[in-house]
A and B are shown apart, each in its own frame.
Chain A
């Protein structure tokens, strides 16, 4: 019970933000909550947010773990392009669905391994190490697609982008499943705690007997795997691999999702669920802007202002101010607790 209370206190700012943004959109656009079924698939703006948010949500899962180790993975957008290109190439060459998926996912794992080796074994700063693949990755993807948009018509592969299971779009299911599995793995074992330990102090964790090298490589490989899933979804969605544009700048959206989710870029404590909500917040803002009908020149300004407001409200200074002015009981308990911990 206590755990549940702590958990809900951890994610309420994100949930509240999401609710406020969705509320704002539905005020501006009254038909927002109309959900129907078209072509055997749920259809409506909230579904769009979930569906379009799935790739960034997947990236955010891997990114959360990487950031928790005090790292960062700038290459995820390029890895998406590579894996999308591999899947389109595999299916057009006639390798069949499962070998193709296996190849695309292995490509993602290989990219993650590359990043992990640079960071964990060679000790290169993560931002520089992953920048290499961010720059080179699109070139690799272009080599695979030979510079053109490689299109395909394989129903099995298209299913991952625009198919559905029980009327729920496949990308949403993949995102939720991946989130659940990764959460289970890191939270039902000591892995999550060890990842946090690495982020707080790499040297101390190594000295305490944590196999930090293997764990770091595994974390980057998870990020590569998530990016591969996102890449397959992005390619399947448009029935083609666009090496130039698939996943372009999505690494920044993924980092933003993690930050909006309240995980510190300095590593340590992380919350996967909060990052997933963060991804939905970003997509809700995007979809809201599209529905609002503002001229496109305003898109980025509106997005920036909303993100700024969210981050200011979440900032430690603002929190102190809010706690100071609120007569909330929880805040009182909070300060008492602090006294207790300070006392001894």
Chain B
């Protein structure tokens, strides 16, 4: 009797397992671009964390910034018969044939962070951030913070011609348009780096009456803001008070600066693209709910009021 009960129990367990495997993705392949930046390292860490939390077996492939490696990884995922594929494409073009292969094998593909130029029926959905929206969140913060006071803003752009630089500039300008009290007086590229951010800010300070003419700095990423903060300090001014600092990305170092009162606000480009992707995938597996073709991640605004030190502690081990 005992043994038959055990067999019954095992049978129920097995059928439950089978059921769960039929509704939930068990193995997911993830083709990551490579380790190009701290942000991407954090994205990898968070994807692995999210998969672990959901009991998903994540097969990770690092493409070392090469599309051929990504295509190889995708083909091997298809051959292994994974339940779904996450793809952070290194370039936009050249994905048609491998995505068609995945489609024929009925494996849904979700794009993370970047888009591809293929027809949108070749992938399930794309999760990403809206760069224009990020810029406008930063601009809106400045508008609210100033509450009508006159303010001359200097801007540190990203690498000239890159899409984050173009879109973050556009979003910010849209947000401050119609507010005559805010004027963008200088705009230069700082190439997204600390060194150039510092050097360009030094020249801004000199060109604008030792910085007395500048009331706020908008940087297209946190690294440039961190460099600029040092330049402001070396000029004998107080960043965060004499010159307001708002930037985008929300990397750990900017939270340290915010905790020290040297930066005012940052807009998060969340590295947690996998969370929304897994949610969409679970819904799709469960009852075939088709997600929208683009899932926009939240561009969360952090200010000094959001306990920056605690956020720093949270973020510092993500691999930024």
Contact = CB atoms under 8 A, between A and B. Distances in A.
Contact of A149 (B187, B194, B202, B209): B194
7 contacts: A43-B235, A48-B202, A234-B195, A245-B195, A290-B200, A291-B203, A291-B206
A41 B189 CA distance: 26
A287 B206 CA distance: 11
- Report the 6 A-B pairs with minimum CB-CB distance, sorted nearest first: A290-B203, A296-B189, A238-B194, A38-B236, A245-B193, A147-B35
B207 A296 contact: no
B234 A296 contact: no
B207 A149 contact: no
A44 B206 contact: yes
Contacts, number: 85
Nearest to B155: A296
Contact of A291 (B41, B191, B207): B207
Given A148-B41, A287-B203, 6 more contacts: A43-B234, A147-B319, A162-B230, A244-B36, A245-B194, A291-B207
B249 interface: no
Q: Chain A CB within 10 Å — which of B41, B193, B206, B223 has the most?
A: B206
A147 B206 CA distance: 34
A205 interface: no
A39 B202 contact: no
Contacts of B195: 234, 237-238, 242, 245-246
A148 B38 contact: yes
A31 B37 CA distance: 39
A52 interface: yes
Contacts of B200: 290
Interface string B231-248: 001111000000000000
A231 to B, nearest CB: 12
B203 A45 contact: yes
A148 B319 contact: yes
B199 interface: yes
Contact of B223 (A149, A246, A295): A149
A142 to B, nearest CB: 8
A238 B194 CA distance: 6
B194 A290 contact: no
B160 interface: yes
Contact of B230 (A31, A43, A147, A239): A239
B157 interface: yes
B296 interface: no
Contacts of B186: 293
Given A149-B223, A149-B253, A238-B194, A52 B234 contact: no
A48 B234 CA distance: 12
Number of chain A interface residues as a range:
35 or more
A290 B210 CA distance: 15
A29 interface: yes
A240 interface: yes
B206 A31 contact: yes
Contacts of B223: 149, 242
Contacts of A125: none
B227 interface: yes
A297 interface: yes
Contacts of B37: 244
Interface in B184-198: 186-189, 191, 193-195, 198
Contacts of A291: 203, 206-207
A41 B157 CA distance: 28
Contacts of B210: 36
A41 B202 CA distance: 14
A31 B213 CA distance: 14
Interface string A38-69: 11010111001000100000000000000000
Q: Chain B CB within 10 Å — which of A147, A295, A299 has the most?
A: A147
Nearest to A48: B202
Given A31-B206, A45-B206, A299 B234 contact: no
Contacts of A178: none
Contacts of A36: 210
Nearest to B165: A296
B320 interface: yes
Given A38-B236, A44-B206, A148-B319, A238 B227 contact: yes
Q: Chain A CB within 10 Å — which of B41, B200, B234 has the most?
A: B234
A52 B199 contact: yes
Contacts of B194: 149, 238, 240, 242, 245
Contacts of A314: none
Contacts of B236: 38-39, 43
Contacts of A39: 233-234, 236
A17 interface: no
Interface string B29-58: 000000111100100000000000000000
Given A48-B203, A287-B203, A245 B191 contact: yes
Interface in B121-179: 157, 160-161
